[in-house]
Amino acid sequence: MARVSLSWALILGLLAGIGPMCTDLYLPALPEMSEQLAATTTITQLTLTASLIGLGVGQLLFGPLSDKIGRKRPLILSLLLFIVSSILCATTNNIYWLVVWRFIQGIAGAGGSVLSCSIARDKYQGVTLTQFFALLMTVNGLAPVLSPVLGGYIVSTFDWRTLFWVMAEISTVLLLGCLLFINETLPENKRGSSLLLTGRRVVQNSRFMRFCLIQSFMLAGLFAYIGSSSFVLQKEFGFNPMQFSLVFGLNGIGLIIASWIFSRLARRINAMTLLRGGLIAAILCALLTVLCAWIQLPIPALVALFFTIAFCSGIGTVGGAEAMSAVGTQESGTASALMGMSMFVFGGIAAPLSGIGGETLLKMSLAITVCYTLAFLVALTRIDNQK
């Protein structure tokens, strides 16, 4: 069995970070974007929803395609499309066209997310795969830590358009890195012959689908927070863009630490036991956040609760590895695509729903609680051949 490579984790983690960069980097700019483009809060949030749905749709494009023709060519295509769509986002003056370009940018960003998982599945398996996913999430976790801080600085110093120029530049560097350092990991003799047949096998895999649903509801909870937190913290609590970015980055640090801890615990504790424990803790913290909205606890207490929820979400390392371990190498691209599509579509739906009628801490907290509770209910179900 191949050993976990830190260099591979670094490269694939940066590729996987393209998706989070689509959302996290420009979150501090949402209020300013709404004002400059004369758009309502709900319409502005659609730029986030469009990118999330694009991330989901793109999974279904690049995942099965990579099972058919290999990993590298779809990866290069996705990076080229990301560069072009980022430039279009930076130059538009219409909020509705921005929604369109964000959708295309999301599709392109999905390539890095789905193919990094597929390449990892090509190289590793079992506990080693879990360890690699932990390294991947650690590197990938730098995106939600650094992106909002960088975004807050850019918005404070320049304007929101500069954010998309930065995205184009980062993806150009990654494109050059892939051309120079990434090799094909799926030999021709292991490539799937029928996309439809491969997809049907994945959907009929009850163990995979169970973990896929858990991951999807968990990500929906995270995006209920991501979609509304910029408005809630900046408008309801008076944070400036940089202060919001620091709070958001702190959550990313919690996610990184948790990913490392849970990957170590996975060697000794049953995966489902870990998942259920993490979800219970997240639900309790979400309920405390609802209470915080009612009785107006101090802001440091609220920040601590957000950090703890993000920390508990790090259990997704285990869930993602278990889902990918349930499928074969020939199905890993399609499986990764289906899981990614489900997660981002669920997240895309949750993000604007939490802000209907105006963003408030109470609405956001209730949405987070519902999503994590649904994930826990799925985790309570039983399937055959459960590990």
Residue 165 confidence class, pLDDT cut points 50, 70, 90: very high
Q: CATH number of the domain that 264 lies in?
A: 1.20.1250.20
Residues written for the chain: 387
Residue 196 reports pLDDT greater than 80: no
> What average pLDDT is seen over the chain?
79
The pLDDT, as a whole number, for residue 386 is 43
Q: DSSP states of 198-210 as a string?
A: HHHHHHT-HHHHH
Flag whether 316 is in a domain.
Answer: yes
Flag whether 1 is in a domain.
Answer: no
Taking the C-alpha atoms of residue 382 and residue 344, their distance in angstroms, rounded to an integer, is 25
Running DSSP on this structure, what letter comes out for residue 329? G
* Distance set, CA 223 to CA 31, 119, 200, 358, 371 (Å): 17, 26, 29, 16, 10
Taking the C-alpha atoms of residue 169 and residue 48, their distance in angstroms, rounded to an integer, is 21
Q: What is the pTM of this model?
A: 0.69
Flag whether 273 is in a domain.
Answer: yes
Flag whether 387 is in a domain.
Answer: no
The pLDDT, as a whole number, for residue 257 is 81
Taking the C-alpha atoms of residue 247 and residue 245, their distance in angstroms, rounded to an integer, is 5
Alpha carbons within 13 A on the beta-carbon side of 84:
11
Question: Percent of the chain at pLDDT above 70?
Answer: 84
Flag whether 2 is in a domain.
Answer: no
Q: CA 329, 331, 335 angle in degrees (round to 5)?
A: 120
Q: Tell me how many domains the chain contains.
A: 1
The stretch 302-313 carries a mean pLDDT of 82
Flag whether 334 is in a domain.
Answer: yes
Question: 200 with 206: CB under 8 angstroms?
Answer: no
Q: Return all residues near 15 (Cβ < 8 A) that are at least 6 apart.
A: 75, 112, 113, 115, 116, 174, 178
The pLDDT, as a whole number, for residue 299 is 81
Flag whether 79 is in a domain.
Answer: yes
Count of CB atoms situated within 10 Å of the CB of 367? 24
The stretch 23-34 carries a mean pLDDT of 80
Flag whether 26 is in a domain.
Answer: yes
The pLDDT, as a whole number, for residue 361 is 80
* Distance set, CA 219 to CA 31, 190, 269, 347, 387 (Å): 23, 31, 23, 6, 23
Residue 130 confidence class, pLDDT cut points 50, 70, 90: low
Domain that holds residue 291: 9-380
| 85 vs 210: which has the higher pLDDT | 85
Structure tokens at 305: 């609760």
Q: DSSP states of 248-303 as a string?
A: HHHHHHHHHHHHHHHHHHTTTS-HHHHHHHHHHHHHHHHHHHHHHHHHT--HHHHH
